[in-house]
Structure 1
């Protein structure tokens, strides 16, 4: 049995953080921040097994694009100390198959966040190691 861990954090502009930078890093992608013009490129970063976005059924189509979703969050939140997202980092059981790990997370995310009208951005990391875990970035506002 693996050692379990869970950490929950707020991604906040007041701490000098960015939702676009955070999403790019966790997903190992390239994202341009429309608000600042900065480009965050983490495509060379390893360890990302899979990524996906889960949103409520009534969410607009643009929510399914990681770059658009987090740029919309950045543009909507105007205060210098805005809370942009919540992030959860959770260990996953070694005993489950990769598919079972992903399904476990999807069920949790749908029950706890999507049912409340929020969108979630998932990044599964280190599935072929002794530290499989998932990073879940969740919007702070509903996306209806």
Structure 2
């Protein structure tokens, strides 16, 4: 039977790259038992970001000190569906609620359920940057400008 779980988390500056590595099972999280939980991953990134981890490393570096480096949705997916059907659900959710004018990455994980090893606990982590990319990902501003806060009094400063 499907269960429902949704949590929304805000990530502080200094934690984004490590969290991206964790959910995408990259870097120091690329091996071991946890890496086997990864079903699928995808991202919508500016052209200058070679990976989601690289993008969120820039968020850690250039976002203001008290800023939000990322927002994360963690959502339980129906274990009655196939991985491909769950992937379609996630892509439809992103299209409807996030769009392609924001940077996002997601990873679908599956592991045995806590109280019943015969059941699958499948869920998705979706990390987004809430800054809007005006001209598409190919024309996104450089990292140092992308994360600057707009300064209406002195536009040349931000």
Normalised-by-shorter TM-score class = 0.7 to 0.9
- Which residue number in structure 1 is paired with residue 8 of structure 2? 8
Residues 1:19 and 2:16 aligned together? yes
1:67 positional shift: 2.5
Aligned equivalents of 1:66 and 1:140: distance in 2?
15
The answer on whether the counterparts of 2:17 and 2:54 sit within 8 Å (CA) in structure 1 is no
The alignment partner of 1:20 has SS state of helix
Residues 1:91 and 2:81 aligned together? no
The normalised TM-score by structure 1 is 0.77
1:89 positional shift: 0.5
From the CA coordinates, give the structure whose radius of gyration is larger: 2
The normalised TM-score by structure 2 is 0.71
1:123 positional shift: 0.7
Aligned residues: 125
Q: How does 1:1-144 map to 2 (within 5 A)?
A: 1-13=1-13, 17-30=14-27, 41-44=28-31, 45-46=34-35, 47-55=37-45, 60-63=46-49, 65-79=51-65, 81-115=66-100, 117-126=101-110, 129-143=119-133, 144=140
The alignment partner of 1:125 has SS state of strand
Q: Deviations over 1:87-110 (max 9, x none)?
A: 110000112111010011011112
Which segments of 5 or more consecutive residues in structure 2 lack a partner in the other structure? 113-118, 134-139, 141-158
Q: Deviations over 1:2-36 (max 9, x none)?
A: 111000010013xxx51000000111101xxxxxx
Aligned equivalents of 1:98 and 1:105: distance in 2?
11
Q: Deviations over 1:55-79 (max 9, x none)?
A: 5xxxx32346213211222222032
User: Are residues 142 and 63 of structure 1, via their aligned partners in 2, closer, same or farther at CA, if it must alter by over 3 Å?
Assistant: farther
Q: Cα RMSD (Å) of the superposition? A: 1.9
The alignment partner of 1:141 has SS state of strand
Which segments of 5 or more consecutive residues in structure 1 lack a partner in the other structure? 31-40
